[in-house]
Chain A
Amino acid sequence: MADRRPELTEVSPVSSDPENSAGGEYHHSEDGGPQPEKHCGHGRGGMGEEVSRKEDRRFITGRGNYVDDVKKPGMLHCELVRSPHAHARIEEIDGSRAMALDGVVAVLTADDLLEYDLATMPTLMDDTQDVLVNDKVKFQSQEVAAVIAEDRYAAKDGAEKVDVSYDVLEPVVDAETALEDDAPLIRDDIEGKEDNHCFDWETGDEEATDEAFENAAVTVEEEMFYQRLHPAPIETCGAVGDYDPGKDKLTVHMTSQAPHIHRTLFAQVSGIPEHKIRIVSPDVGGGFGNKVPIYPGYVVAAAASYVLERPVKWIEERSENIQSTGFARDYDMNGEIAATEDGEIRAIRVDVLANHGAYNAAAQPSKFPAGFFNIFTGSYDVETAYGSLSAAYTNTAPGGIAYRCSFRVTEAVYLVERMVKVLADELGMDPADVRRRNFIQPDQFPYESPTGWNYDSGDYETALDEALEMADYEAYRDEQQRRIDEDADKLLGIGISSFTEVVGAGPGKSCDIAGVEMFDSADIRVHPTGKATLRVGVQTQGQGHETTFAQIVAEELGIDVDDVVVEHGDTDTDPYGLGTYGSRSTPVAGAATAIAARKIRDKAKSIAANELEAAEEDVEWDRESGEFHVAGAPERSVTVTEIAAGAYMNHPGGEEPGLEAVNYYDPPEMTYPFGSYVVIVEVDRETGEVEFEKFVAVDDCGNRINPMIIEGQIHGGLAQGIGTAMMEQITFDDNGNVTGGDFMNYLLPTAMEIPEFETGHTVTPSPHHPIGAKGVGESPTVGSPPAIVNAVVDAMAHAGVSHVEMPMTPDVVWKHLEEAGLERRPAQNLEFELAGDAGESVTDDD
């Protein structure tokens, strides 16, 4: 494993933002050398150190506090009644049998919510979704009524006794059928709506792209479906609404990746003023984008508490989670590349049909209806590109959310990385060479893409070379040929993906959620004893913020990481932020933290001058020792801890007492992490089974805060990529029934399906980020599916296979083997033997 660490590279600021350019001072760099010990570096747990996680203890001892662990006096339980039909008009809801049960307190329907003007809620894409169905059900499992009861079991009993009569309508579940002229109309709630068309979107230069295709020596085309997935965190969604009539205040504990924006939305929906709403997102058992949108259950729990003046808990079951909350992907994509005969890509063209479900409830910046899909030119220097997309409403759960993905980047990366493989096979070239031929070169950054992105930095070839070397690429190519030549039972396939992501939204001028600009925030208070509290506007769901953000403060203030506590997820105490998704926490809130710490250091400097009895201009900050000292006299020094005491107990005249700072950071640009993955698989010609022989991931997320946590993020994302490529899919039958709606049918990979990963990295800092970091959590989920599919295709490419759809279950692979004439059937006499066995077993039974 070529894991070199820590290596922190100088950041050359290019931003005009004076605060930002403070990043230029970040400059400690170490050569490769032996693996560091934990708490290495300066030894204070700063940047680049493998600090063990501060948050672990509560989780390993069973003291975590997730939403379902919240227990309040007098708390009621809510169970939602859901529609068994995908498309149906509600004729009547009768809750009387439920109300007659012991323990049932209330049955709520849309009519009840209408009284409080809570019957509908806005989605993050400005659509309007029923909280409880008013008139017409639009997808199976949609929320029809709510039963509130004294305990969980009584609520469930009650839900079974709510009688709903439906007028069942014809459903339409796939986007293509939904857009046909005679398709049943789903959104008759939208005035004047006569079809199921949701929106159109385009990007790039159509004319120039068409011209490039007309003049191209070589063109390739492939249609590929990125199937419907679900983030499926192990903790489902849930909430505890608690309205306190004494304080006229609503507190909602909820599984939220974005508590502040949820507070704003709650204020808008409920009419309760925002300062009288407190959202608490306690420990969250995984998010991956699932917990960004608002769901009806949250609103019902809060509304029921408001109406009944008692706390109300709502917790989803797994099937409810998969069947009704935000799905991801469901993009039917057609990709084309125009190229020269020697593999130079001249243009990329793509057309997409998107299934958005019953409501447009994607969760992305509002000006980006197709998210950041227009990053589909990837890591390649392409002259021109054009993309078009049509989105449809269907009778399926609403969504199109960003599952571990910066807003449709996953679909875009899949498209371009698959198409490069298609091109390489068409030209008979090594796909690694096609990539090298077309990479944006390091001296081209900042690079403006043909669809308008401004890439900050990259060195794609170095990452690819590193990955190929780690994978022993050439040797496996030889082995692959040997197996073909010898007609071996198991074929070898080698897949590559050299992806580029765009993460860290804002800037606020172009990115917003529900109108709120996508900045983020940090509030640092250094206490009299030199210990510090950092509060951030982002919210961890396992990413390790309580450790990594403390490391940024430790680095910037020269204090020990154990002396910093990180708080988040409580809108009453934390500064406003937009939340954690789209790999934005480090790029945005990480920057805010570094800048807030530097503000504190600026103030500390004047106090240092006072304490050192020197002029302020003679006082220098020494990052290595974490001290201020007098220029030319390092023995005359003072630490931030010592200064903190001075700030409260002996503050200089003219200065405010105390040592605190707040920063709201609006990033000047996004960051562009990248990497190269090499996947080597064995394909069994008899069974279609795919086994991983080698899985190499080289990532570049700029400067690295905690290599251990980064590696953990990579492992987890790769496992999700394997789930995507091999196992996971939500499907529907013609009646709109979900056929992959629980963990018996929606298969998550277990430890048996996930191989050992080999990870490596390169470091190309972001030039505009105060600590040169880029964000990493999503890279592996984005980058690995095309590498895996490329590998499976590669195993059969010599027989003409150009594409295999995900999930690549054995039966899917076997059909391709058969079509390509590669399948291997059991020996001919096996049938005879089986018959013999059967005969014997009959005898045995006798």
Chain B
Amino acid sequence: MTDEREITLTVNGTKRTIEVEPRRLLVHAIREDLDLTGTHIGCDTGNCGACTVLVDDEPIKSCLTFAVQADGSEVLTVEGMEELPESAGDLHPLQEGFHEEHGLQCGYCTPGMILAGKALLDENPDPDEDEIREAISGNLCRCTGYQNIVRSIEYAADELEARAAADGGTSIPDRASNASATDGSDAAFDCGLENCCGGPAAGADGGESRE
């Protein structure tokens, strides 16, 4: 056994410090050291995407990442979805979408799919079907045939847009710049506006506009 190293992750908005072997995979740190078992393992080779989490807003396969590589990062797992501002204290629109559109059966790929969907909608709040299919093409589902997963993400896009509209269409600061300046506290996620941080990234993104 190699010497363990201390790493600090901000997981779902909470700062966590753990000691891990340098070879320990991030997915094992998340599941076994942090007891967040919503993130799953399906293939060990980066093909299935059941282990997908967001590290500093980027979707990554946590079975291909060492925990030490994520030292100092913000990690979002499925367990953090309900805590996001756009979830308004209940299910995130993506979670709601999977339920409403029957986007899951056995549920094993679902957390990874939800995170892959979140990464897409953060980048592109109004994706078309092809864009959704491409965004989840690194995530395998053996149950649904993907059709209802596509609908689930479309549902979430619509719901996020509706919530943003109801909120007066406030522009959303860039999450990444917040993240780099953060000490990992909840404040990084909470700008005081509903459906803000982590929501449809638009205005603050260098003025790039989408139809």
State whether the Cβ of A687 lies closer than 8 Å to any Cβ in chain B. Answer: no
Measured CB to CB, the closest approach of chain A to B105, in angstroms, equals 3
Specify which of A319, A716, A751 is in contact with B105 (CB 8 Å cutoff): A716
Question: When the two chains form their complex, are residues B142 and A751 in contact, meaning their CB atoms are under 8 A apart?
Answer: no
Question: When the two chains form their complex, are residues B136 and A61 in contact, meaning their CB atoms are under 8 A apart?
Answer: no
Known contacts A52-B99, A318-B44; A751/B91 CB under 8 A: no
State whether the Cβ of A211 lies closer than 8 Å to any Cβ in chain B. Answer: no
Q: Which residues of B contact A65 (CB under 8 A)?
A: 37
Question: When the two chains form their complex, are residues B145 and A754 in contact, meaning their CB atoms are under 8 A apart?
Answer: yes
State whether the Cβ of B14 lies closer than 8 Å to any Cβ in chain A. Answer: no
Q: Which of A234, A286, A714, A719 has the most CB of B within 10 A?
A: A234
Q: Closest chain A residue to B82 by CB distance?
A: A61
Specify which of A234, A711, A715, A756 is in contact with B140 (CB 8 Å cutoff): A234
Question: When the two chains form their complex, are residues B145 and A64 in contact, meaning their CB atoms are under 8 A apart?
Answer: no
Once bound together, how far apart are the Cα atoms of A63 and B137, in whole Å? 24
Measured CB to CB, the closest approach of chain A to B104, in angstroms, equals 6
Specify which of A69, A236, A714, A750 is in contact with B37 (CB 8 Å cutoff): A69
Question: When the two chains form their complex, are residues A234 and B114 in contact, meaning their CB atoms are under 8 A apart?
Answer: no
Q: Which residues of B contact A757 (CB under 8 A)?
A: 145, 147
A residues 301-343 near B (Cβ < 8 Å) are 317-319
Known contacts A56-B99, A61-B78, A319-B44; A715/B144 CB under 8 A: yes
State which of A179-187, A219-227, A537-545, A645-653 sits at the interface with chain B.
A537-545
Q: Which residues of A contact B142 (CB under 8 A)?
A: 232-234, 286, 288, 716, 719-720, 748
Once bound together, how far apart are the Cα atoms of A64 and B79, in whole Å? 11
A residues 62-100 near B (Cβ < 8 Å) are 62-66, 68-69, 71
Once bound together, how far apart are the Cα atoms of A451 and B133, in whole Å? 45
State whether the Cβ of A284 lies closer than 8 Å to any Cβ in chain B. Answer: yes
Once bound together, how far apart are the Cα atoms of A322 and B180, in whole Å? 42
Question: When the two chains form their complex, are residues B137 and A62 in contact, meaning their CB atoms are under 8 A apart?
Answer: no
Q: Which of A66, A317, A715 has the most CB of B within 10 A?
A: A715
Question: When the two chains form their complex, are residues A62 and B39 in contact, meaning their CB atoms are under 8 A apart?
Answer: yes
Question: When the two chains form their complex, are residues B21 and A285 in contact, meaning their CB atoms are under 8 A apart?
Answer: no
C-beta contact mask, A131-173 vs B, less than 8 Å → 1, else 0? 0000000000000000000001110010000000000000000
State whether the Cβ of B77 lies closer than 8 Å to any Cβ in chain A. Answer: yes
Specify which of A52, A154, A233, A542 is in contact with B1 (CB 8 Å cutoff): A154
Question: When the two chains form their complex, are residues B145 and A716 in contact, meaning their CB atoms are under 8 A apart?
Answer: yes
Question: When the two chains form their complex, are residues A742 and B38 in contact, meaning their CB atoms are under 8 A apart?
Answer: no
Question: When the two chains form their complex, are residues A64 and B107 in contact, meaning their CB atoms are under 8 A apart?
Answer: yes
Measured CB to CB, the closest approach of chain A to B157, in angstroms, equals 16
Once bound together, how far apart are the Cα atoms of A235 and B21, in whole Å? 26
State whether the Cβ of B11 lies closer than 8 Å to any Cβ in chain A. Answer: no
Once bound together, how far apart are the Cα atoms of A102 and B91, in whole Å? 44
Question: When the two chains form their complex, are residues A718 and B108 in contact, meaning their CB atoms are under 8 A apart?
Answer: no
A residues 447-483 near B (Cβ < 8 Å) are none
Q: Which residues of A contact B99 (CB under 8 A)?
A: 52-53, 56-57, 60
Q: Which residues of B contact A61 (CB under 8 A)?
A: 38, 78-79, 81-82, 91, 95
Once bound together, how far apart are the Cα atoms of A235 and B37, in whole Å? 13
C-beta contact mask, A284-301 vs B, less than 8 Å → 1, else 0? 111010000000000000
- Categorize the interface residue count of chain B: 35 or more
Measured CB to CB, the closest approach of chain B to A230, in angstroms, equals 11
- Categorize the interface residue count of chain A: 35 or more
Q: Which residues of B contact A60 (CB under 8 A)?
A: 78, 91, 95, 98-99, 104, 107, 110, 114
Q: Closest chain B residue to A718 by CB distance?
A: B145
C-beta contact mask, A736-747 vs B, less than 8 Å → 1, else 0? 000000111000
Q: Which residues of A contact B82 (CB under 8 A)?
A: 61
Once bound together, how far apart are the Cα atoms of A410 and B145, in whole Å? 19
Question: When the two chains form their complex, are residues A59 and B146 in contact, meaning their CB atoms are under 8 A apart?
Answer: no
Measured CB to CB, the closest approach of chain A to B24, in angstroms, equals 7
State whether the Cβ of A712 lies closer than 8 Å to any Cβ in chain B. Answer: yes
Question: When the two chains form their complex, are residues B1 and A103 in contact, meaning their CB atoms are under 8 A apart?
Answer: yes
B residues 70-104 near A (Cβ < 8 Å) are 77-79, 81-82, 91, 95, 98-100, 102, 104
Once bound together, how far apart are the Cα atoms of A284 and B146, in whole Å? 19
Once bound together, how far apart are the Cα atoms of A71 and B106, in whole Å? 21
Measured CB to CB, the closest approach of chain B to A387, in angstroms, equals 31
Measured CB to CB, the closest approach of chain A to B29, in angstroms, equals 12
Q: Which residues of B contact A712 (CB under 8 A)?
A: 102, 105, 143-144, 148
Question: When the two chains form their complex, are residues A317 and B146 in contact, meaning their CB atoms are under 8 A apart?
Answer: no
Once bound together, how far apart are the Cα atoms of A89 and B176, in whole Å? 58
Once bound together, how far apart are the Cα atoms of A767 and B35, in whole Å? 50
Q: Which residues of A contact B42 (CB under 8 A)?
A: 234-236, 285, 318
Known contacts A285-B107, A743-B48; A752/B81 CB under 8 A: no
Q: Which residues of B contact A318 (CB under 8 A)?
A: 42-45, 48
State whether the Cβ of A484 lies closer than 8 Å to any Cβ in chain B. Answer: no
State whether the Cβ of B111 lies closer than 8 Å to any Cβ in chain A. Answer: yes
Question: When the two chains form their complex, are residues A719 and B146 in contact, meaning their CB atoms are under 8 A apart?
Answer: yes
- Residues in chain A within 8 A of chain B (CB atoms): 52-53, 55-66, 68-69, 71, 102-103, 152-154, 157, 232-236, 283-286, 288, 317-319, 541-544, 708-709, 711-720, 742-744, 748, 750-752, 754, 756-757
Closest 5 CB pairs of A and B: A62-B38, A59-B107, A285-B108, A542-B106, A715-B145
